[in-house]
Amino acid sequence: MRTADQLIADIVRSSRISSHKRRQELLRELATHVDDFVLLARQAGRGDEEIQRLLVANFGDPQQIAQQFAWVYRRERIMLHLSVFLISTLVVTTVVSAAVMSMQAGMALGFGVPLLSVLGSRHSLIEALDILATVAAYMGLISLEKLFDRRPVARALAVLAASSAVLVAAFAATGMATQFLIFGSVNAVFLRTVQVCLSRSAARLGVVFAGFGVLGVIFFHPPASAVPSALARIAAGSNDSEAIYVSRSPRRHPDASSKPGLLDSRRALPDAGHRRHHFGLQLDRRNPAASLPARRTPGPHVLP
Amino acid sequence: MEIDRELLKGSITLLLLNLLSRGEMYGYEILQAAAVRSAHAFEFKEGTLYPALHQLEKKGHIKAQWRTGDNGRERKYYSLTSKGRKAAQQYQRQWTHLTGAVNAVLESK
């Protein structure tokens, strides 16, 4: 049989009141109610067991009472989740962006590319936006789930889909890039689905790496013809050094003929008398063997 | 007679504001007063009283204060605020109007 103490503890625990102080106060208030009830019942000559039974019966369904409290304190809860969402999004985005940028900076230094031209590029901005969108959507999903009592994951996904659609429509209407929003939402849904479906950390990591690996193979590998054709041009003898661009931006490279959103190789640009380093493969004419991919782009985007 | 929960739900606010307009009370005291004054017609589940009180407190209609009662025990006492007093009068007018209208329909031939 459930005791009065258990009943009160159940109510407070399930009430989802965000403030610890308020929960403690509610606990205290309900305990005084129980004390009053027990005192009067004892004065009426009832036994302890009967008192407990009557108390639980008179008090009502603890889940229902807890839901009523949850409704009363919903605004505080929403504000708390919103604050946690914003702060954690900011922190996680900063940390992940810093980690990615550090890796790129390390690679840039290793390949002798000027650091500023890598970190200060448009590509870095897009990467940061991708990370921000992914983290925001993921943290948003987690926060939304906490707002729903029933079917939290499904409802959170529905709200995320609706919010993303509204944001994409608004961004598109103002002529801003929308790809990073879609990229972030899809990433978040993928990561959360993996987290919900798989309980073991190793399995989660494996699926995430495999998932992104497959995406990388699908979207980001340059066509096999790109490098040999560039090598052939170099062998034919053009100026100083040439660069093969793997561009994502038709506006940035007007010669580009490929579909936007997909990486593609570009013909060698004749005016490339200096190293080109963004968005692409670099090929040093004097040392073709040492030519290395400057960077791989993280997502299928078109620059605005 | 047991009153339907949906019917009771709409009247709890008025009932609480009215009872507290007579003086400050703590939770258990409110329940007892409601039962006695309604000739035990209002014997709702005790747990449902507290969310209603907290809701009224959040709306600013009542305020709460922990203090030691006459018997030396500490309890949370609720009392009406000036906003709550106005709300109580308004609710009472609306209730009188509503019940009058409902009775008129029920008693019409």
**Of the candidates A34, A14, A64, the residue with the CA atom closest to the CA atom of residue B9:** A64
At residue A225, φ and ψ (nearest 5 deg) are: -75, -15
Instruction: Report yes or no: B44 and B35 within 8 Å, Cβ to Cβ.
Output: no
- Residues A197-249: tens digit of each pLDDT: 988 888 888 888 888 888 777 766 555 555 565 556 556 654 443 333 333 44
Q: How many CB atoms lie within 10 A of CB A62?
A: 21
Q: Where are the domains of chain B?
A: 5-102
Distance from CA of A117 to the nearest CA of B (A): 56
Among A231, A214, A303, smallest CA distance to A265 is for A231
B55 touching A, CB under 8 A? yes
The pLDDT profile of chain B, 109 residues, written as one tens digit per residue, is 666 767 777 788 899 999 999 999 999 999 989 888 887 777 777 888 999 999 999 999 999 999 987 778 889 999 999 999 999 999 999 999 998 999 999 988 7
Q: Which fold has domain B5-102?
A: Arc Repressor Mutant, subunit A (1.10.10)
Compute the distance between CA of residue A264 and CA of residue A257 in angstroms, rounded to an integer. 9
Helix%, strand%, coil% for chain B, nearest 5? 60, 15, 25
Q: Is A35 on the interface with B (CB under 8 A)?
A: yes
Which tokens belong to B62? 């009542």
CA A28 to CA B69: how far, in whole Å? Answer: 15
Task: Decide: A295 and A253 in contact? Cβ < 8 Å.
Answer: no
Question: What are the counts of helices (DSSP H) followed by strands (DSSP E) for chain B?
Answer: 4, 3
Helix locations, A112-151, DSSP H: 115-119, 122-145
For residues A280 and A185, what is the distance between their CA atoms, to the nearest angstrom?
Answer: 26
Question: Looking at the complex, does the CB of residue B50 fall below 8 Å from at least one CB of chain A?
Answer: yes
Q: How close B104 gets to chain A, by Cα (Å)?
A: 34
Residue A117, CB-side half-sphere exposure with 13 Å CA sphere: 14
Q: How many CB atoms lie within 10 A of CB A112?
A: 8
Contact call for B50 and A65, based on CB within 8 A: yes
- Identify the pLDDT of residue A262: 38
Contact A294/A280 with Cβ under 8 angstroms?
A: yes
Q: CB under 8 Å to A148, separation ≥6 — which residues? A: A155, A156
Left (φ > 0), alpha (ψ -120 to 50) or beta: where does A299 sit? beta
From chain A, the residues in CB contact with B26 under 8 A are 32
- In degrees and rounded to multiples of 5, residue A165 shows phi and psi of -60, -40
Of B46, B47, B51, nearest to A72 by CB-CB distance is B51
- pTM given for the model: 0.64
